[in-house]
Amino acid sequence: MDNEITECIRRALAEDVGTGDATTLATTPENLVLRGTFLAKSDGVIAGLEVAGQVFRELDPSVRFETDVIDGQTLRSESTFAFVTGPGRAILTGERTALNFLQRMSGIATTTRSFVDAVEGTRAVIFDTRKTAPGLRYFDKLAVRLGGGTNHRTGLFDMVLIKDNHIDAAGGITAAVERVRAGSSAKLPVEVECRTLNDVREAFGLSVDRMMLDNMDLATIREAVRIVAGRVPLEVSGNVTLETVRSIAETGVDLISVGALTHSVRAMDISLKIIKDE
Question: Which residues are annotated as catalytic?
Answer: 96, 131, 163, 193, 214
CB 143 within 8 A of CB 108: yes
What is the C-alpha to C-alpha distance for residues 69 and 49, in angstroms, rounded to an integer? 9
Closest CA to 138 of 241, 51, 243: 51
In a 13 Å sphere around the CA of 136, the CA atoms on its Cβ side amount to: 18
CB neighbour list of residue 171: distance below 8 Å, 6 or more residues apart = none
What is the C-alpha to C-alpha distance for residues 210 and 41, in angstroms, rounded to an integer? 41
CB 243 within 8 A of CB 218: no
CB 92 within 8 A of CB 102: no
Burial class (CB in 10 A: 0-12, 13-18, 19+), 182: exposed
